[in-house]
Chain A
Amino acid sequence: MNEFLLIFRRDAEATAVQRSPEQMQTMMNYWREWIGGIAAQNKLVAVGNRLDTNGSVIKPDNVVTDGPYVEVKEAIGGYSIIKASSLEEATELSKGCPILSVGGSVEVRPIIPMEV
């Protein structure tokens, strides 16, 4: 089994849309069900974290800019780590991610193990 980092990206402007508490609750349930389904297969390594939308970017010569994004559409919203036997399987597991239903994306990246 190899580990994979799932990076959840979403359009920061689109997600800023006001949602009702019921919609938020539904959204939360979708996430929990999706990640619960991965955990039920014993393939969840770390549930990870969700990230705040603000932040700063430090560039050479200590140039600091607000906001972490190159493109607003590509803001990283959070990450989780899963395990799977192949990139294909990890990709398959990611297809149910609720971020896809709000126009976001999941980037699946194999983690290079320390011992190869």
Chain B
Amino acid sequence: MQQDQLLPHLFRSEYQKIIAVLCHYFGFEHIEAAEDIASDTFLTAAETWGIKGLPDNPKAWLYTVARNKATDYVRRGTRFNQKIVEGFDAEENYEVEIDLSDQNISDSQLQMMFAICHPVLSAEAQIGLALRILCGFGIDEIAEAFLTNKETINKRLFRAKEKLRERKVKIVFPEAADIVSRLGIVLKTLYLLFNEGYYSSCQSTTLRKDLCLEAMRLNYLLIENEQTNLPEVNALLSLMCFHASRFDARMDEAGEMIRYDDQDRTLWNDELIAKGRHYLNLASKGNEAGKFHIEAAIAYWHTVKTDTPEKWENILMLYNRLLIAAYSPAAALNRTYALAKVKGKEKAIIEAEKLKLDSNHLYHVLLGYLYTSVDNQKAASHLQTALKQAKTPADKSRIMKDLKALL
């Protein structure tokens, strides 16, 4: 690895580990201190390595410095408490054992994952905290991913941490009996984190990819742990692998979305498709077939390169199942697209008109697609409505292209 890339690389991989371990040790009461210590450690590294050159084992160096800083922090805190609290047991907190072994790192991260994915927090707050604490993203990166500014993110994270403190949320692994119910929220957060990267309209392709990879890494942590290696967890990872396999094919050089039908299929990543199949197989052990199973199966059929009738019939059936299990506008739109593939555009138009999602720009994009070559005037009118409703420049320019192709 290039020397000038070593520190950013270590920051990416180690910052989150140090924070997770420190937070786990200190508890949410001192989460800012944990963040400060972790940041300070990297600052010290930048200065020291800049002057003296790289240590033999940079990772171990970082851990030692973080450990020392944490010890100092605890000592200082203890002395402070000693002065203000009479009868405080001075000896009790002096021994600081910050365990930065691989095992403790992944345990701490798992426990942190459960703590952050707490029902008192909104999904946005959970994702924000996960990005900061579990993925080591900077505030500006999180702001970019959410298409907002640093102040908003800082406030959001601050409030989220306050809430966790007020509720005295402990950073512990849930009781065996609670794992399944708590896991539901964790998986939902990982799912949203992945979607944030996959569907976000943020311009930076690297950042979007990072979000997806982080969601997959955290999901994998759950698979590595025996207690959380459950079918639903495997189904979600399978879903992410299938989606991620198209990452390079679904965007052009300008960062604009390329529609599924127009993608260069040789760019689909076979290795990720194989991984997706592997986890889908593992997910099929046991009798449950939840939302992620259905979505993973839909994603699997999308990785089939030739457009056979069988492929779209299966996708249509799976969308029907998904909608029967739980309604979502996205599923309703995708079902209609699949219906057009199976039964033709005319039939799909009848169904699409019933959806009544008029305020959703993707609804008009879909109707624009369905009416194309059936009634081009109507197609254009829907695309114009979509253009008015679309919010991001990427969406707008995509719709503009469709409109131009029509005229």
Contact = CB atoms under 8 A, between A and B. Distances in A.
Interface of A: 29, 32-33, 35-37, 39-42, 44, 47
Nearest to A37: B351
Contacts of A41: 332, 354-356
Given A32-B317, A36-B319, A36-B335, A42 B327 contact: yes
Contacts of A29: 317
A40 B356 contact: no
Nearest to A47: B324
Contacts of B335: 36, 40
A39 B317 CA distance: 13
Contacts of B324: 32, 35-36, 39, 44, 47
A44 B317 contact: no
Contacts of A36: 316, 319-321, 323-324, 335
Contacts of A44: 323-324, 327
Interface of B: 316-317, 319-321, 323-324, 327, 331-332, 335-336, 351, 354-356
A interface, over-half SS: helix
A30 to B, nearest CB: 11
Contacts of A37: 351, 354
Nearest to B334: A40
Contacts of B317: 29, 32
A57 to B, nearest CB: 31
17 contacts: A29-B317, A32-B324, A33-B316, A33-B320, A35-B320, A36-B316, A36-B335, A37-B351, A37-B354, A39-B323, A39-B324, A39-B332, A40-B323, A40-B327, A42-B327, A44-B327, A47-B324
A29 B324 CA distance: 13
Q: Which 8 A/B pairs are nearest by Cβ-Cβ distance?
A: A36-B320, A39-B323, A40-B332, A42-B327, A32-B320, A39-B324, A40-B335, A47-B324
Contacts of A35: 320, 324
Most chain A CB atoms below 10 A, which of B316, B331, B336, B354: B354
